[in-house]
Amino acid sequence: MSILLIDKPEDISSFECIQILQRRAKKEGRGKVKMGHAGTLDPAASGLLIVATGGDTKQLTDFLKLPKGYIADVLFGIATDSGDREGKEIARVSPEKCAVSEERVREVLFGMVGTLALPVSKYSAIKQGGEALYKKARRGEEVDVPVREMTVNEVEFLFMHRRKDGYLVAHIRFAVESGVYIRSLGEELGKRLGCPASLTNLRRTRIGDMDVEDAECPEKIDVIEI
């Protein structure tokens, strides 16, 4: 199967990556090329995105079921309605009142390994009534947020730093099964620590055996045979 491994940059959507590739194909004289991707990344997230072309797009569902790896930056003290930096702030406590230590974060984090029942962000792509939740949420409609089982296989506390405004950010590696929303894990970590939390950065590093180190940015992508 011929697939494209893309290292999606921040601030563009997964669909925009497809458009970049299609424009390149047209420029190279290949006309309009059918393309699809497996596993949407939010615009604010970066990292590995799998794209297939032509008849191979039918195989994309196989990649959706694979385990994934992420590196997330979790901010303690501020929560948003989307669970990441793109959302509207809904809770804030001062850094002094958010007593978070490296030892406590490690302890709580490792306690999250296993299967958890967590609410999915109302800004997720999960469909309800035939329409993605995020579309309803952005229109200001009431959204019935579903609770999903999410399986965390491994966690690794990388390091923690304090921002100039005094708030702490933990850098964490997650290895998870398909269907896990890292924003939900960040929010749950904050709840267990008794402090509002949200993601300031998210990068997908692995899908199955495929690593972002083998990917290229959309403008430079090459076909990789697997």
Domain count of the fold of the chain:
2
Give a three-class secondary structure readout of 33-82. Answer: CCEEEECCCCCCCEEEEEEEEHHHHHHHHHHHCCCEEEEEEEEECEEECC
Report the DSSP pairing between strands 46-53 and 197-207: parallel
Contacts of 3 by beta carbon, 8 Å cutoff, 6+ apart: 50, 51, 52, 56, 223, 224, 226
Q: Read off the pLDDT of each residue in 148-155 and give the average, rounded to a whole number.
A: 96
- pLDDT value of position 60: 85
Neighbours of 208 (CB within 10 A): 14
Residues 176, 217: one domain? no
- Domain shared by 101 and 168, yes or no: yes
pLDDT band at 12 (very low <50, low <70, confident <90, very high): confident
Q: 33 and 47: one domain?
A: yes
| Run of H or E residues at 117 | strand 114-119
The CATH number covering residue 200 comes to: 3.30.2350.10
Q: What mean pLDDT is predicted for residues 106-128?
A: 87
What is the spatial distance between Cα 90 and Cα 190, in angstroms, rounded to a whole number? 14
Q: What number of residues does the chain have?
A: 226
Identify the CA nearest to 77 among candidates 202, 194, 181, 203: 194
| 196 — pLDDT class (breaks 50, 70, 90) | very high
Residue 117, domain extent: 68-206
Domain identity same for 105 and 154: yes
Spatial separation of the C-alpha atoms in residues 6 and 47, rounded to whole Å: 7
Are 199 and 220 members of one domain?
Answer: no
- The answer to whether 1 and 224 have CB atoms below 8 angstroms apart is no
Higher-scoring residue by pLDDT: 26, 72: 72
Catalytic residues, by residue number, are 42
